[in-house]
Amino acid sequence: MQGGLASQDRIDRQAGSRAWTAHPRWRWEHDRDTLMEDLTPTIAARERLGMSAAEISRIARQFGAPGRPERLPGGQGQSWKVGTDSGAIVVKPAPHPDEAQWTGPILSEAIFAPDVRVPRPIATGKGEWIEQDHVAWTWLDGGAMSGRYIQKIAAARAFHIGLRSLCRPNFMDRRNDPWAMADRVAWGEAPADYDAGSMAALAPVLEMIADTPLPRDCKEQVVHGDLSGNYVFADGHAPGIIDITPYWRPEGFAEAVIWVDAIWFSESAQPEHFDQVGMRAYVLRALARRIAEQPEQVKAGMKSADEASRFVNTLRNATFKLLEPWASG
């Protein structure tokens, strides 16, 4: 999928819970549709499964797209491609209105290097960024590709350079979806209080985080918090980055998420592609976030406990391999 959407290629222990607070390849074949559900923010989308093509068409016309809507794969079936006089746009639900109101004016005018393609938010004819709980983005030609980590990292860095001057958005403090909650746990901003199986995987990672400081010159900025699978490639064009999910974290953390997520895809990543200073610290936090996302999704009613347990166990079993390249820091 395109323009702020998850791409086509994305993605039991019993009793008691344990509270934990922390402060500052190995391939696994898994159904791609299940992975896509795991990695894509879909709380609001799930609530709009009944949206018809006719309703989307009326919304799309407000964004200047008179074409016939075409439902896109993934994203819970809530994302649509709609033709315009000069190309196409993507119409999708806006689960976080505050985020959409911030993203619209910022990313519609942001300047990026030619090394990366970035979709742009589209306003309605009345200048609004949201229409009937939906947003629109420009369409990027291309398709998902596994591997290509050198290109993906280069595109991510070009993308993040274009965001370095931005201030921290206030809406981030108000997000309470499973991904945001898990992110706070990974960064020591919220306690971990999950089931015993999740804590068995998460607690050792949090202990290592406490003993692994971030680089001294580490700077936080707006980053894409879920780059994995959110690239499109087209011949003769720079890689495109889609499904833009803003977080306020160091750039190295965004790249560490790609490294951790590589366990779900068929082509393994090579550690030499991930050369940010302090990668061990970033990988630990990315791993903690991915683990914590599982019980958080169970709490939100988005995933069964058994399904979450399978993901947690896979991440737990991969922990040593994920950290091995940076065993000494």
Residue 180 has pLDDT above 60, yes or no: yes
pLDDT at position 37 is: 41
The b-or-e profile of 191-204 (16+ CB within 10 A means b, else e) is: ebebbebbbbbbbe
Domains in the chain: boundaries: 32-326
Looking at residues 80-98, what average pLDDT do you find?
A: 94
- Over the stretch 257-295, which tens digit does the pLDDT of each residue have? 999 999 988 788 999 999 999 999 999 999 999 999 999
Residue 304 has pLDDT above 50, yes or no: yes
pLDDT at position 25 is: 31
What band does 11 get if pLDDT is binned at 50, 70 and 90? very low
Looking at residues 85-110, what average pLDDT do you find?
A: 94
pLDDT at position 51 is: 81
pLDDT at position 215 is: 95
Residue 154 has pLDDT above 80, yes or no: yes
pLDDT at position 122 is: 97
pLDDT at position 50 is: 56
Q: What DSSP letter does each residue of 221-281 carry, written as one string?
A: EEEES--TT-EEB-TTS--EE-S--EEEEEHHHHHHHHHHHGGGSSS---GGG---TTHHH
Looking at residues 135-150, what average pLDDT do you find?
A: 94
**One-letter identity of residue 128:** E
- Over the stretch 124-139, which tens digit does the pLDDT of each residue have? 999 999 999 999 999 9
- Worst-scoring range by mean pLDDT, 67-81, 208-222, 255-269? 67-81
Residue 41 has pLDDT above 90, yes or no: no
Task: Show the tokens assigned to 66.
Answer: 């008179």
The answer for residues whose C-beta is within 8 angstroms of residue 300's C-beta and 6 or more apart is 43, 177, 178
pLDDT at position 44 is: 42
- Worst-scoring range by mean pLDDT, 47-51, 147-151, 191-195? 47-51
**CATH, domain range 32-326:** 3.90.1200
Asked whether 218 and 239 are in contact (CB, 8 A), the reply is: no
Query: Rounded to an integer, what distance in angstroms lies between the CA atom of residue 149 and that of residue 85?
Result: 35
Residue 321 has pLDDT above 80, yes or no: yes
pLDDT at position 291 is: 98
- Over the stretch 14-29, which tens digit does the pLDDT of each residue have? 223 333 333 333 333 3
Residue 88 has pLDDT above 60, yes or no: yes
Looking at residues 180-200, what average pLDDT do you find?
A: 97
Q: What does the mean pLDDT of the chain come to?
A: 86
What band does 75 get if pLDDT is binned at 50, 70 and 90? low
pLDDT at position 23 is: 33
Looking at residues 178-202, what average pLDDT do you find?
A: 97
Task: Show the tokens assigned to 12.
Answer: 């039991």
What band does 176 get if pLDDT is binned at 50, 70 and 90? very high
Beta-carbon-side half-sphere exposure of residue 129 (alpha carbons within 13 Å): 16
